[in-house]
């Protein structure tokens, strides 16, 4: 049973960028977990702040409810850490928590943000925290004096501006069978409704690339990822 862990800087990032991967993992009998480092209440909830008399706690509550519903639609377990955003700050305590989560879940696949994003101060922080926790949780792939897990496949999901973030996709995932679930999860986030059309179109664009690469004409929607570590195989 494959286990997928997604580390998301904000409460909605996992839906836009890896919702298909999550739903597909679950539909194939696996388990999916999402760590939301923050709710994105300050910098990712512009629509909610247009309401008169809005408060930070109310925005956080709305974002929590949206993320919980979206995760349920996709079949994932949500683990919110509520660290705050813009700026997202990660200290040793948070790293320890991430290590504990990784050791407990022992994911086969780990997905997070790119290490560079000139338009978002929190995404690189999420990457750095995930990468450090991954190395500690796996003991960098060697025997250690503490409990470790087998190194998972490590992927980055597609950022909003891929070219400006150094994102070079080398994995395309066919999410056609679970597209309706991803669409339903995206529609939950009314706090960022303007992104729904963008990521729906991006799924079509990546499907076009996947069809041309593979020759599989039935791919209608796809997500793109960048593999961080080389793939180890026993045959080609």
Domains and CATH numbers, the chain: 3-227 (3.40.50.10320)
Q: Average pLDDT, stretch 168-190? A: 97
pLDDT band at residue 170 using 50, 70 and 90 as cut-offs: very high
Q: Average pLDDT, stretch 144-159? A: 93
Task: Tell me what pLDDT residue 148 has.
Answer: 92
| Stretch (H or E) spanning 126 | helix 123-138
Q: How far is CA 17 from the centre of its chain?
A: 6
CA distances from 115 to 126, 128, 154, 228 (A): 8, 7, 13, 11
Q: Average pLDDT, stretch 80-86? A: 98
Mean pLDDT computed over every residue of the chain? 96
Answer positive or negative: Cα dihedral of 127, 130, 136, 141: negative
Token digits for 11? Answer: 């409460």
Q: How far is CA 201 from the centre of its chain?
A: 18
Q: Average pLDDT, stretch 150-175? A: 97
Q: Average pLDDT, stretch 188-206? A: 95
Query: Residue 33 above 80 pLDDT?
Result: yes
- Tell me phi and psi for residue 119, to 5 degrees: -115, 0
Q: Are strands 171-174 and 222-227 parallel, antiparallel or unpaired?
A: antiparallel
Q: Which residue in this structure is represented by tokens 């683990």?
A: 79
Judge whether 32 and 60 are in contact, CB under 8 Å: no
Task: Tell me what pLDDT residue 142 has.
Answer: 74
Query: Residue 106 above 80 pLDDT?
Result: yes
Q: What's the half-sphere exposure (Cβ side, CA atoms, 13 Å) at 68?
A: 8
Q: Report how far residue 57's alpha carbon sits from residue 228's, in angstroms, rounded to the nearest whole number.
A: 37
Token digits for 186? Answer: 């995206």
Which residues, 6+ apart, have CB-to-CB distance to 181 below 8 Å? 19, 23, 73, 74, 75
Judge whether 203 and 44 are in contact, CB under 8 Å: no
Q: Average pLDDT, stretch 55-84? A: 98
Q: Among residues of the chain, what percentage have pLDDT more than 70?
A: 100
Query: Residue 94 above 90 pLDDT?
Result: yes
Query: Residue 40 above 90 pLDDT?
Result: yes
Task: Tell me what pLDDT residue 226 has.
Answer: 98
Query: Residue 144 above 80 pLDDT?
Result: no
Task: Tell me what pLDDT residue 146 has.
Answer: 81
């Amino acid at each position: 049973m494959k286990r997928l862990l997604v580390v998301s800087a904000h409460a909605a990032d996992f839906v836009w960028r890896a919702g298909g991967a999550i739903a597909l993992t679950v539909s194939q009998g696996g388990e999916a977990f999402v760590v939301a480092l923050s709710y994105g209440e300050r910098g990712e909830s512009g629509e909610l702040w247009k309401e008169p008399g809005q408060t930070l706690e109310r925005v956080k509550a709305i974002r929590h409810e949206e993320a919980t519903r979206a995760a349920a639609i996709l079949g994932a377990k949500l683990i919110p850490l509520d660290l705050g955003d813009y700026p997202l700050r990660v200290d040793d305590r948070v790293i320890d928590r991430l290590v504990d989560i990784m050791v407990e879940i022992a994911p086969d696949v780990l997905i997070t943000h790119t290490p560079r994003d000139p338009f978002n101060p929190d995404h690189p922080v999420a990457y750095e925290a995930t990468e450090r926790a991954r190395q500690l949780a796996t003991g960098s792939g060697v025997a250690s004096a503490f409990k470790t897990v087998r190194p998972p496949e490590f992927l980055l999901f597609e950022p909003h501006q891929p070219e400006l973030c150094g994102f070079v996709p080398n994995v395309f995932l066919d999410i056609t069978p679970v597209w309706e679930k991803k669409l339903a999860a995206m529609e939950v986030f009314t706090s960022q409704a303007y992104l729904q059309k963008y990521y729906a179109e991006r799924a079509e664009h990546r499907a076009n690339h996947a069809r041309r690469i593979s020759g599989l004409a039935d791919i209608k929607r796809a997500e793109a990822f960048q593999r961080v570590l080389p793939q180890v195989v026993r045959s080609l």
